[in-house]
Amino acid sequence: MKFLRSLRRRPFVSLQALVSALLVALLAAADYYGFAVFGEDPEQQQSTSQSHLYRQFHK
Amino acid sequence: MGVMKCPSCRSTLTVRESIGTESLVCPGCEAWVGIASAAPRLIAGTRPRAARTPSTTPLALGAKGVLRGKTLEVTGILQRAEGSYTWFECAVADEKGDITWLWVDRGHFSWSVCEGKQCVRTVPGGEFQYGNETLKLFGIGKARQVWASGSFPFELDPSERSRIEDYIAPPFTASREGGVWWVFEYIPVEEIEDAFGVSCPEPVGIGMNQPSTYRRQRMAIGQVTVLALVALMLIHLFVGGDARQAPLLDSNVELRRPSGDPPQSLPGFALHKAWTAIEVDIRAPVSNAWADLNLAFVHAETGKSYWTSQGVEYYSGQDTDGGWTEGSPDRSVLIRSLPAGTYSVLASGGTGGWAGGTTPQYAQLQVYEKPAPATNLLLAFGIVLGLAGIFVWTGYRFEARRWEYSDYGPRE
């Protein structure tokens, strides 16, 4: 309760701490699992049979 | 208690000697009556005062409450003004009859915490200090008494034109009047409402001595921000810092194969993390020419194919402004988040020129593993610093709004 009261008295600090903690967790997860936030999304085919290059390669 | 007759309307005046009354306002005709001498003396008549009766007062005369451990009763309300700017000074008596003052400026309450010539000291350099706080000049003006109700421990004076200097060090305001300092401490209106059991109007703007919630939190915000930046950097270094420096793939792609030929099969590679961004670097010695590559990364286990088209182009020439160039013979692109697995790579290329340009035979293709690109870290940095920036801006706006009412602000 004391902790919650202190957060209420200092809302900006609480918000900054909350967002920072969230970002630290997200960055750790993104870096650990290898997820890039920015970058080009590659085009994706569900199977190689749909790939233009693959079809060309095997024809 | 003593009883007297109003010299103006002959109403009965009740005088509370216990609170050191020297003048009072007749409740019947609103005349100002001095009672310092044996016989009551008319200080000011009825009409000028009544004509200036304010539509509302911050507290009602006789209101009682407990504020910061003191049992108080409002015994007098005085409205003062400088030009069209007005404020209230409420005399509140405690159980012993000692008078404390509540100063109410645009709905912002403060109460007197020190009164006397020694409350404020002058430090070398000519600045004033209250406690350890250096005071800043906020305003200088001449105040007159425009309306009153109740009893006062001094003689009301409608002809008064007191010079008042206001200095601030929130939550304190120090006012110097007639060589005497009055120091007031800001009290949130909610505390007044709780103390007196009343509902007060919303204060207007920022009070001159209103404490800044931003100022109180700025040190903690700074600490949290620095901590967050350090934590993000460490996480990026230790969790995402295992990117291999050697390329996963380093190969040349033919650019001039006949159109009917199948695409080139390049050496494959394996990605071990759940998801991995890859950096594709393309270099080709193009000059007034372009080179394009189509790349397919084919997942061996799922059969899914991820493909992308990338290219380089570089042009140069001369015009009336001199030499010019456009584009670059190398390019680096981040392709994000391929799932773990073994990949085979297929590539096809093409090239063309312009104005006798040089079209290359091959393009160099390098693929690097980028499991934790720096852009992740930069985005997190941006959000943390952006929030801190918003805090600094709102704190700045708070102070700017405070000083709107002063001719002596930092920007004056």
pLDDT confidence tier of residue B374, bands split at 50, 70 and 90: confident
- CB of A34 within 8 Å of a chain B CB? The answer is yes
- Per-residue confidence (pLDDT) for residue B369, from 0 to 100: 87
- Structure confidence at residue B258 (pLDDT): 84
Same domain, B150 and B13: yes
Rounded Cα gap, residues B80 and B155, in angstroms: 14
- B130 and B255, same domain (yes or no): no
Question: Does residue A25 belong to the interface with chain B, where contact is any CB pair within 8 Å?
Answer: no
Taking CB atoms and an 8 Å limit, are B337 and A40 in contact across chains?
no
To the nearest whole angstrom, how far is the Cα of A43 from the nearest Cα of chain B? 5
pLDDT at B93: 94
A-chain CB neighbours of B225 within 8 Å are: 16, 20
Kindly determine whether residue A36 and residue B298, on different chains, have CB atoms separated by under 8 Å. Answer: no
pLDDT in tens, B140-154: 999 999 899 999 998
The answer on pLDDT for A42 being more than 50 is yes
Interface probe, candidates A6, A10, A22, A37, chain B, greatest B C-beta count within 10 A: A37
> Domain ends where: B333, B348, B370?
B370
- B215: in domain: no
Least confident of A20-29, A48-57, B253-262, B265-274: A48-57
Partners of B224 on chain A (C-beta within 8 Å) are 13, 16-17, 20
> What is the per-residue pLDDT across B70-96, written as a single tens digit (0 to 9) for each?
999 999 999 999 888 899 999 999 988
Please tell me which residue of chain A has the smallest CA distance to B370. Answer: A34
Asked if residue B105 is part of any domain, the answer here is yes
pLDDT of residue B90: 95
Query: H-helix or E-strand containing B253?
Result: strand B249-254
Cβ contacts below 8 Å, chain A against chain B, sum to: 175
pLDDT > 90? residue B251: yes
Residue B50 has pLDDT above 50, yes or no: no
- B72 and B180 co-located in one domain: yes
Listed in sequence order, the DSSP H helices in B111-198 are: 189-196
In a domain, B50, yes or no: yes
Residue range B216-244: average pLDDT?
A: 85
Q: Closest residue of B to A37, CA-based?
A: B376
**Cross-chain residue pair A36–B370, CB shorter than 8 Å:** yes
Query: In this predicted structure, what is the pLDDT of residue B167?
Result: 95
Q: Is residue B378 part of a domain?
A: no
Collapsing DSSP to helix, strand or coil, B110 comes out as strand
Please indicate, yes or no, if residue B387 is contained in any of the structural domains: no
Q: In this complex, is the C-beta atom of A58 within 8 Å of any C-beta atom belonging to chain B? A: yes
The confidence score (pLDDT) of residue A49 equals: 54
On average, the pLDDT of chain B sits at 89
Assess whether B198 and B292 both reside in one domain: no
Q: Which of B195 and B303 is assigned the larger pLDDT? A: B195
| Pairwise pLDDT comparison (B263 vs A59), residue with the higher score | B263
pLDDT at B394: 93
pLDDT of B351 strictly over 60: yes
Q: Is A59 touching B (CB cutoff 8 A)?
A: yes
Q: Is the pLDDT of residue B371 over 70?
A: yes
- Residue B384 to residue A27, Cβ atoms within 8 A: no
Phi, psi of B337 (to 5 degrees): 60, 70
CA distance B195 to B192: 5
Q: How far is CA B98 from CA B38, B130, B155, B240, in A?
A: 23, 23, 17, 69
Q: Which pLDDT band holds residue A55 (cuts at 50, 70, 90)?
A: low
CB contact under 8 A, B380 and A53: no
pLDDT at B409 over 80: no
Q: How confident is the model at residue A3 (pLDDT cuts 50, 70, 90)?
A: low
Q: Are residues B277 and B203 in the same domain?
A: no
Q: Is the pLDDT of residue B241 over 70?
A: no
Count of domains for chain B: 2
Closest Cβ–Cβ partner in A13, A38, A50 for B220: A13
Quickly count: other Cβ atoms within 10 Å of residue B83's Cβ.
Answer: 8
- In this model, does residue B192 exceed pLDDT 60? yes
* Structural domain ending residue among the three candidates B209, B234, B257: B209
CATH of the domain at B284: 2.60.120
Q: CB of B67 within 8 A of CB of B73? A: no
d(CA A54, CA B295): 10
Q: Is residue B15 in a domain?
A: yes
pLDDT at B174 (0 to 100): 96
Region B217-236: mean pLDDT is 92
One domain, residues B111 and B30: yes
CB contact under 8 A, A34 and B306: no
Name which residue leads in pLDDT, A12 or B172. B172
Provide the shortest C-alpha distance from residue A9 to chain B (in Å): 9
Contact A33 B213 (CB under 8 A): no
**Span of A28-32, A44-48, B348-352 with lowest mean pLDDT:** A44-48
Model pLDDT, residue B412? 60
Q: What is the pLDDT of residue B3?
A: 80
Cβ distance of B235 and A27 shorter than 8 Å: yes
B191 and B259 fall within a common domain: no
For the ranges B306-310, B314-318, B354-358, the lowest mean pLDDT is seen at B354-358
Mutation target among B301, B334, B346 for the A interface, most CBs of A within 10 A: B346
* Minimum mean pLDDT range among A18-22, A34-38, B118-122: A34-38
Residue pLDDT, tens place only, B113-136: 999 999 999 988 889 999 998 999
**Contacting residues for B141 by C-beta, under 8 A, at least 6 apart:** B82, B83, B85, B163, B164
A-chain CB neighbours of B213 within 8 Å are 10-12
- How does residue B31 score in pLDDT terms, banded at 50, 70 and 90? confident
Domain that residue B349 falls in: 249-370
Q: What is the mean pLDDT of residues B321-336?
A: 91
B252 bridge partner residues: B364
Contacts of B387 in chain A (CB under 8 A): 15-16, 19
The per-residue pLDDT for B307 is: 86
Does an H or E element contain B230, and which? helix B213-238
Query: B182 vs B337, which has greater pLDDT?
Result: B182
Percent of the residues in chain B that have a pLDDT greater than 70, as a whole number: 96
- Domain for residue B91, yes or no? yes
Q: Which of B63, B56, B26 is nearest to B44 (CA)?
A: B26
Residues of A in Cβ contact (< 8 Å) with B337: 34-36, 39, 41
Do B202 and B272 lie in one domain? The reply is no
- Given B161, B181, B209, the domain boundary residue is B209
Q: Do A16 and B276 touch (CB under 8 A)?
A: no
